[in-house]
Structure 1
Amino acid sequence: MLPADHRPTPLCGPRLGAALLLLLLPAACAQGPAGEGCSQNTNRSCEECLRNVSCLWCNTNKACLDYPVRKILPPASLCQLSSARWGVCWVNFEALIITMSVMGGSVLLGIAICCCCCCRQRKKSRRLDKSDERAVREQEERRVRQEERRAEMKSRHDEIRKKYGLFKEQNPYEKF
């Protein structure tokens, strides 16, 4: 539960991208000076504490603590999520969790929508291919039947012409 006077931290613009980038960097690549403990920065400032990426700042008691590496989120006994800071001082863990879950859900939803659209497009193209093939096949069948009918009609007409003597035989002595 959030306290009644709690205001959400504004998360927008280039600050969010920078914060997320800092949060996603592995702790090993940005360690502070060797041997520096997080507890040395207790009762100082958040910025000083978070110079070492393996440290966690708790706003409620101004304590600089070692980040619990074995757990993804710090336990409530260590520090409340609304007052825990890691990476940058202006992003608390609650806002981070909400932002990352919304972004992750949006990405998954976008991927799902793209997959559905691609599958529909493929089905439509397959249907069109099948219907095009069917139309070409039917057209060819019609053309063959029409040629058969023409040949049949021509033979009937030739028989009728022969019967009534109207059939013109080709004269072998015609002018070329």
Structure 2
Amino acid sequence: MMDSRSLAAALLLLFGLATVFAQTSAPGKACETKNGTSCEECLQNVTCLWCIKTKMCLTYPARTILPPHALCPLNDARWGLCWMNFQTLIITLAVIGGIIIIAFLVCLFCCCKCENFGSKRAEAKMEKQANKTRTKQEERRAEMKQRHDDVRKKYGLSGPNPYSKF
């Protein structure tokens, strides 16, 4: 059985293909000539709208975007597919569009958050490495000073410098 995502994707693909392949409509009242036929025959032309209630094939009113209720109620209007009413089509496309927008915003937020988290992490790692290097350098300086002091003590040079008078 198809899940809702694959059904929605199939519907979008079908409507896209229907609009591309059905652009061969004749100008004028081509839809009204198909009155009294079936829904499938009417909807072969993408500019046609089938009204189940009146069983009429009408030219889709593109200027009003949605067909007016006086022409055909949305529950009874069919466009693109005979088995799906116009109201369901609008709701489905709106939900899919909303999901896509929300998914895009979530991805955008996650990417920005991860990028900021990664840069803070990198800064902390660099700071830790700098502290380690500084600590090792101080230890080496202390060891060198200790060795120099031991050598001076061994040869009796730990006192005041005899050449400091000059």
Please state which band the TM-score falls in when normalised by the shorter chain.
Answer: 0.7 to 0.9
Match of 1:66 among 59, 76, 79: 59
2:124 is aligned to 131
1:154 is aligned to 147
Label 1:154 to 1:13 Cα distance change in 2 as closer, same or farther (>3 A): closer
Instruction: Kindly report which structure 2 residues correspond to 1:8-157, keeping only aligned pairs within 5 A, or say none.
Output: 17-24=9-16, 25-26=18-19, 29-32=22-25, 37-157=30-150
The Cα shift of 1:159 comes to 2.9
Superposition TM-score, scaled by structure 1 size: 0.75
The gaps in structure 2 that reach 5 residues or longer are 157-166
Greater length-normalized contact order (CA 8 Å, ≥ 6 residues apart): 1
Bigger share in helix:
2
Superposition TM-score, scaled by structure 2 size: 0.79
Aligned CA-pair RMSD: 2.5
Label 1:53 to 1:82 Cα distance change in 2 as closer, same or farther (>3 A): same
Label 1:115 to 1:13 Cα distance change in 2 as closer, same or farther (>3 A): closer
Provide the aligned length of Structure 1 versus Structure 2: 153
The gaps in structure 1 that reach 5 residues or longer are 1-10, 164-176
The Cα shift of 1:15 comes to 6.7
Q: Percent identical across equivalent pairs?
A: 33
